[in-house]
A and B are shown apart, each in its own frame.
Chain A
């Protein structure tokens, strides 16, 4: 048995989500092979080769793989000859986008967003916005799986010495072409992996008021997140959204400010180690999951909090 992990990266760095996916692969029997598909991404393959738990790295490079479009990644993965019992990718927008294509072409029913591995064919995954946890057994010969990164602790990034092999990069389908990207530039840690997250909701009132949360975040070395309501209202960009249909986070400390605690929001943060809620409504459901609740106007509490840190 051999597991193939499809690496998420930006052609220069291997993403944290990949290290978590490798950790999940190590819970399965057999070797772990990492496929790095991309453009000018030799350094990513070198990082993967050094990662703990990796037995071999496959490097598939082509200019059209630069933006990792789903149709082309599909071709690159399908071009690999090895016989893999399991194919894994992170359940990020990268994995969610391309993995079902591979699954369909292999005639396999994908298991999405697993949070635990019971055995080589049985996995746990949340359904209904995390209101229920299903244990699912796959009867397909191969397993195609996306992994919730926050559920698996990443292994060491150094220490390994796997070989790197150049492999076929498939073909450019030209079904889809890259036009451009508008990425949120931030000096702050990545929302998905930050140790502390400070999130704001509709209660923030407007985008300018989010500056207050940014100041608080900088004091704590935190990432800034938001509820759907805050994103829909245009206070912050879409990639801030935490929840069932946004990002899943599980930091050591999650501070929810002016967020009511709708089930869809809780789905994205309730596995945080310590939750703090600041809300002026003492009946707000967020208090039911908060370790520390402060019933107060956020415009009074947040400046005070910044002051006392």
Chain B
């Protein structure tokens, strides 16, 4: 079975994000970019399914600008067989990303699409579910365990109350949660090998999808500051403050 993995290039999780003074967005110039951590987990899962002999081919796809090539090369170094860059300089909204991925799915014919449950910049948590609905496929979101057997996949999901297990008909969409696996690091020989793996480019415009934005970002601002509090010297002082000053216990 063929697996398609959708990956997004985002500001690295360790960067302290700064809001631009004119409130138009956040600073992205000279900021370290990386593969979205949930997408790394998705790539790792796909590669493990291949190593187990369940997947035959892993195709990584990203929608974005030329720099996304670098992120796709990382996916190839981690074990993907082929990569596709759908090129655009626009920042697409999840609905547009899902519509674009649907086209790629129609061309590639995978039996499973793996995505991150959310990207750590937009924090939307939408793309996988939207793709599932547009394709008319089932979905296993927030996955912490994925098993594939007899044309079905059993997915254990992290939900608010604990864990839920469902069984999906394939083809299906799966989105990853943090505890699905621990992604490997790319080894130097694999990074070298990745340079020779195929990386196709498609212009977004050639896919004929309506990717017009539906929302406008009016402003991006700093969250309200929390003023730094005080240090207490002892447990007794803490209890006294909580009782008499904060009045919360």
A22→B246 CA distance, assembly (Å): 30
Q: Mark B227-249, 1 if CB is under 8 A from A, else 0.
A: 01111101110110110001011
Contacts of A70 on B, CB cut-off 8 Å?
Answer: 129, 132, 139, 141
A136-B165 contact given A131-B17, A287-B231, CB 8 Å threshold: no
Contact B242 A292 (CB under 8 A): yes
Give B residues with C-beta under 8 Å from A: 11, 13, 16-17, 19, 26, 38, 93-96, 98, 117-118, 120-134, 136-142, 144, 154, 157-169, 172, 177-179, 213-223, 226, 228-232, 234-236, 238-239, 241-242, 246, 248-249
In the bound complex, what is the Cα–Cα distance between A196 and B232 (angstroms)? 20
Contacts of B128 in A (CB 8 A): 100
Among the listed A110, A134, A247, A293, which residue makes an inter-chain contact with B231, where contact means beta carbons less than 8 Å apart?
Answer: A293
Q: Are A100 and B214 in contact (CB under 8 A)?
A: no
- Is B134 within 8 A of A104, CB to CB? yes
Given contacts A135-B219, A175-B138, A177-B167, 15 further A-B contacts (CB under 8 A): A70-B141, A98-B129, A103-B95, A104-B95, A127-B220, A132-B26, A132-B221, A133-B221, A134-B220, A135-B221, A176-B139, A179-B167, A181-B165, A220-B249, A294-B234
Contact for A137 among B124, B129, B136, B218, CB less than 8 A:
B218
Output the least CB separation between B178 and chain A (Å): 6
Interchain CB contact (< 8 A) of B122 among A71, A127, A133, A275: A127
Docked CA distance A289–B228 (Å): 6
Flag A122-135 by CB within 8 Å of B: 1 or 0 each: 10001111111111
Q: Which residues of A contact B162 (CB under 8 A)?
A: 181-184, 237-239
**Is there contact, CB below 8 Å, between B239 and A71?**
no
Q: Is the CB of B235 within 8 A of A304?
A: yes
Is A109 touching B94 in the complex (CB atoms < 8 A)? Answer: yes
Sample 30 A-B pairs with CB under 8 A, ordered by A number: A70-B141, A94-B159, A96-B129, A97-B129, A100-B126, A103-B95, A112-B126, A126-B223, A127-B123, A129-B123, A140-B214, A173-B138, A175-B138, A175-B169, A178-B165, A181-B161, A182-B164, A192-B160, A237-B162, A237-B163, A238-B144, A244-B120, A245-B177, A247-B160, A253-B242, A253-B246, A293-B231, A294-B232, A301-B235, A308-B235
How near does chain A come to B31, taking the closest CB pair, in angstroms? 11
Measured CB to CB, the closest approach of chain B to A292, in angstroms, equals 5
A283 within 8 A of partner (CB): no
8 residue pairs, one from A and one from B, having the closest CB atoms: A175-B138, A291-B229, A101-B133, A100-B129, A109-B214, A104-B130, A100-B126, A176-B138
